[in-house]
Amino acid sequence: MARSDVQLMLDVKAGDEQSFTLLLYRYRSPLVNFLYRMVRNREQAEDLAQEVFLRVYRAREDYVPSAKFTTWLFRIATNLALNSVRDTRYQRMEISLDAPVMLDAEDGEEKTLDVAEKHPNIEQHLVEETQKKMIRHAIEKLPEKQRAAVLLHKYQELDYGEIAKILQCSESALKSLLFRAYETLRVELAPLVAQHGK
């Protein structure tokens, strides 16, 4: 049977480096994806994810399994992401209002024409790409704390209590955050929502 996260972490604490590698395999993809949606830059997301693992490793000797491992892990990740987003925004304001915003041209975006040439159903493909782009932009436009709440709720399948602990707010405040985020998303994505709701 697979060892639980907490058991792996206790093994790391006892000096077993192999268990750290297992935790790395288990959580690198969820963390990188979460951070990528938060900071919108792949390189930065990977750098922050590495920082999360490093902090987990550094904390191993003091680790006490008081909360769920994922709560602790994503709390570190969320704090790093929120700080990074705020720093980046501040830097951008400092540089210039005209400076180009250096965000990733995301997967698919630059490939679109290339693939479309060979694609048997070009129209369908373009529609799908446009949809994805709209969804991405709608998420990116959310205020960062709402964005974090949506990502943790939707993609990490954490329960309300855990997400509230990660965001350091009450469950009631979290529900408000999520409600406001979904209200914004249903307006931003209205054309798609109308299609999807049929």
Partner 1 sequence: MEKKILGYVDGRLKESERLEVEKHLAACAGCRLRANEFRAVSGLLDELPMIEPSEAFDLRVHARVAAEPLKQSWWAWFTSSPRVAVAAAMLLLASVWVGTHSTNNQPQIAQEDIPVLENLDVLSSFDVLSELPPPVQADDGGQQQNPQM
| Cβ atoms of 52 and 80 closer than 8 Å | yes
Compute the distance between CA of residue 75 and CA of residue 67 in angstroms, rounded to an integer. Answer: 11
Encoded tokens for 2: 């697979």
Quick check: 58 binds partner 1 (CB under 8 A)?
A: yes
CB of 145 to partner 1, least distance (A): 16
CA distances in angstroms from 78 to 4, 8, 84, 102, 107, listed in the order given: 22, 22, 10, 21, 23
Among 2-10, 28-36, 89-97, 110-118, the segment contacting partner 1 (CB under 8 A): 28-36
Among 121, 154, 168, 170, interactor with partner 1 by CB under 8 A: 154
With residues binned 3-state (H G I as helix, E B as strand, rest as coil), the percentages for the chain, rounded to 5, are: 75, 0, 25
Quick check: helix, strand or coil at residue 8?
A: helix
Among 41-49, 81-89, 93-101, 113-121, the segment contacting partner 1 (CB under 8 A): 41-49
CB of 123 to partner 1, least distance (A): 17
- Secondary structure letter of residue 110 according to DSSP: T
In this complex, which beta carbon is closest to partner 1, that of residue 141 or of residue 186? 186
Among 4, 7, 29, 130, interactor with partner 1 by CB under 8 A: 29
Quick check: 71 binds partner 1 (CB under 8 A)?
A: no
Compute the distance between CA of residue 198 and CA of residue 102 in angstroms, rounded to an integer. Answer: 37
Interface ranges with partner 1 (CB under 8 A): 20-21, 24-25, 28-29, 32-33, 36, 42, 46, 49-50, 53-54, 57-58, 61, 107-108, 131-132, 135-136, 139, 150, 153-155, 159-160, 172, 175-176, 178-179, 182, 185-186, 189, 192-193, 196-197
